[in-house]
Amino acid sequence: MSDVIKSLSISEKKISILPALRMLLTEGENTPILTLIETFECKLAFEDKGAFENKVSSYVATPILDLGDCDLKENSGKLVELVNKYKEQNSKKPNIILINGLGVVCCSVTKGHAEALRENILDCLAGKTIEKKDCSENNEKINSESFIAGKVFIITGAGAGFGKGIAELLFERGANIVIADINEPAALATAEELNKNKKENAALAVISDISNPESLQDLVEKSVAAFGGVDVLISNAGVVKAGGLTELAQKDFEFVTKINYTAYYLITKYVSEVFKIQHTFDSTYTTDIIQINSKSGLTGSNKNFAYAGSKFGGIGLTQSFALELVEFNIKVNSVCPGNFFDGPLWSDPERGLFVQYLNAGKVAGATCVDDVKKFYESKVPMNRGCTSIDVVKAILYIIDQQYETGQSIPVTGGQEMLN
């Protein structure tokens, strides 16, 4: 157990204990959500544990689990021992967990329950008069027929466009969504929109530059602090710079490669560390990495070589990651959508592909954006562009099935077919 943990960079940080704890507290199909209240927010919990337990006893039905200085890297066996002893003594999992050097952890089946408990603890410690009620509904099943209900997704580039559509549709099915986007206003607006009707799942906006390793590590740590772990990574963020060999500057080629290819490697590197911890403590648990690729990853694209090359490379990464990570029950697959004509990638009046292709002379005889759009619509046997729901159906298939990894699934309306 410890050999795998010690090889992971996240194990250097106290927060790495949360994905392990999440697996140890799983009951049947109910994987809990763990929400962290950092130490500085609730000093009393560590200065006077007896007084803290007295204050919060009205809100929980189980005793507090005190893990003390338990450290995942140095003594993972101690964590297992403490959790098993607690479950034997109490016949149920705890609602509140104390971890020295990290903070107070609220545990429940749903994010809604865990967040209600967190808010009540903070209000109570602040001396506010609040309604005395039990927020410990940790044995209640998630109220959804969807098999992804309660799962935790990180989706890069989810503030707008394809990514936002994917986030919305998965959220409707009960998933918890981390919206990772460099566009702060878009990310915050999308999270607010999803959270406006209080549900048992939740969306969290994390401002993230996917080309920056430190920013991606911060993304993973914030996701773990908010939910306790991660179940699915959807690497969606991407850019396009069209142009032929004589037009496209080297800096633009390198920018496309950095975002579409290198960033996929980086986010997979950091999220897979969380997946490996979860697998270490429950070897039956399955997680997924899904790259949103493109039909241009299956067939070359005239005067769009930077994009197509990065997507071809992404499929190579998917196949290679799949072979490396399969021993940890991590499935790695790509979805290759056709053209999302209605999204900003294509239709933005200033930077969209229709404008770029028109200016690059990619469509012979085209004199306006409408000419370019009609040309591309005519290439799709089903006579329409790809939509978010088309892609989400492929995502749901990938997660649900248990016998495919390293695949690149076309969702192109028949425009691209696998041989």
Reported as a single tens digit per residue, the pLDDT across 117-168 is 898 888 888 877 655 554 545 444 455 678 999 999 999 999 998 899 999 9
Cα–Cα distance, 349 to 417 (Å, whole number): 31
What does 58-124 look like in DSSP terms, one character per residue? TT-SSPPEE-TT--TTT-HHHHHHHHHHHHHHHSS--SEEEETTTEEEEEESSHHHHHHHHHHHHHH
Cα–Cα distance, 206 to 218 (Å, whole number): 9
> Residue 289's beta-bridge partner residues?
233, 332
Look at 45 and 232; give whichever has higher pLDDT: 232
Place of tokens 């309660």: 150
Cα–Cα distance, 138 to 211 (Å, whole number): 38
What does 125-185 look like in DSSP terms, one character per residue? HTT----------TTSPPS-S-TTTT-EEEEET-SSHHHHHHHHHHHHTT-EEEEEES-HH
Place of tokens 């056709």: 338
Average pLDDT of 370-397?
A: 93
Assess contact for 302 and 375: CB atoms under 8 A.
Answer: no
The pLDDT assigned to 307 comes to 96
Evaluate if residue 263 carries a pLDDT over 70.
yes
Average pLDDT of 270-286?
A: 97
The pLDDT assigned to 351 comes to 84
The pLDDT assigned to 332 comes to 98
Q: Which CA distances in Å does 75 have to 4, 8, 21, 287, 328?
A: 13, 15, 13, 25, 21
Share of the chain above pLDDT 70, in %: 95
Evaluate if residue 238 carries a pLDDT over 80.
yes
* pLDDT, the chain, mean: 91
In one letter, which amino acid is 299?
Answer: T
The pLDDT assigned to 138 comes to 44
* Number of Cβ atoms within 10 Å of the Cβ of 101: 12
Assess contact for 198 and 112: CB atoms under 8 A.
Answer: yes
Which of 193, 110, 113 lies closest to 144 in space, CA to CA?
110
pLDDT in tens, 338-357: 988 887 778 888 888 899 88
The pLDDT assigned to 123 comes to 85
Average pLDDT of 83-98?
A: 92
Residues 6 or more apart whose CB falls under 8 angstroms from that of 20 comprise 72, 76, 79, 277, 278, 280, 281
Question: How many angstroms separate the most distant Cα atoms in the chain?
Answer: 79
CATH of domain 152-339+380-411: 3.40.50.720
pTM higher than 0.85: yes
Which of 23, 196, 25 lies closest to 108 in space, CA to CA?
25
The residue count for the chain: 419
Which run of H or of E encompasses 411? strand 408-411
The pLDDT assigned to 1 comes to 52
The pLDDT assigned to 292 comes to 98
Q: How does residue 71 score in pLDDT terms, banded at 50, 70 and 90?
A: confident
All CATH 3.40.50.720 domain ranges in the chain, comma separated: 152-339+380-411
Which of 172, 145, 158 lies closest to 290 in space, CA to CA?
158
